[in-house]
Amino acid sequence: MTKEKIISTIFNNVTEHHGILNSLEEMKFISEHNALEVHCIDFIEKMTDPNVTKLSRAFRMTRGAISKLTKRLIKAGLIESYQKPENKKEIYYRITELGREIYLKHQSLHQDRIDRDILFFSQMNECEKDTLIRIFEKLDKHLKNELEKKGIENGKYSE
């Protein structure tokens, strides 16, 4: 087996294990609302003037599916819709106080994951850390380029 194949295999194993750990932690957090609902709340809080079009691009889902999702979140009291005085045609969304609680718990979950991984990385010497930073930056750039080839900008939602 080539070193490139060994590295790729190990990297895939690491990302799979990392994903499983994250999923297990998320399952504890998400009881009443599914991951899609929680991430929708997250996007709405982070976007400027979130609407169905922006959310459908962010999730890579149809506008109809996003409309159903936002209606569920409105019914649950997690988000609310609003219109701007200068644009009565477009409907925008913002999170409610109840939605903010879920948003903050979700942010805390992400921070806990980072803290968990920091414990591992803190055991490395400075040279190892510098090498990993360079490798991960190159890998991140490579993966972003691959996503852009598939029409996905920055691997994240776009406004």
Residues 6 or more apart whose Cβ sits within 8 Å of residue 72: 37
Q: Which two tokens stand for residue 127?
A: 């040279």
Instruction: Determine the pLDDT at residue 156.
Output: 53
How close are the terminal C-alpha atoms of the chain, in Å?
A: 43
| Residues pairing with 96 in the sheet | none
CA distance 92 to 94: 7
Instruction: Determine the pLDDT at residue 18.
Output: 87
In this prediction, residues 58-81 reach a mean pLDDT of 95
pLDDT at 159 over 90: no
Helices then strands, counting H and E runs in the chain, come out as 6, 2
Q: What is the mean pLDDT of the chain?
A: 89
Instruction: Determine the pLDDT at residue 94.
Output: 97
Q: Which domains, and CATH codes, for the chain?
A: 3-149 (1.10.10.10)
Cβ neighbour number for residue 137 with a 10 Å cutoff: 10
In this prediction, residues 4-18 reach a mean pLDDT of 89
CB 70 within 8 A of CB 55: yes
Residue type, 79: I
Instruction: Determine the pLDDT at residue 30.
Output: 67
List pLDDT tens digits, range 24-54: 777 766 667 788 999 999 999 999 999 999 9
pLDDT at 62 over 50: yes
In this prediction, residues 62-67 reach a mean pLDDT of 96
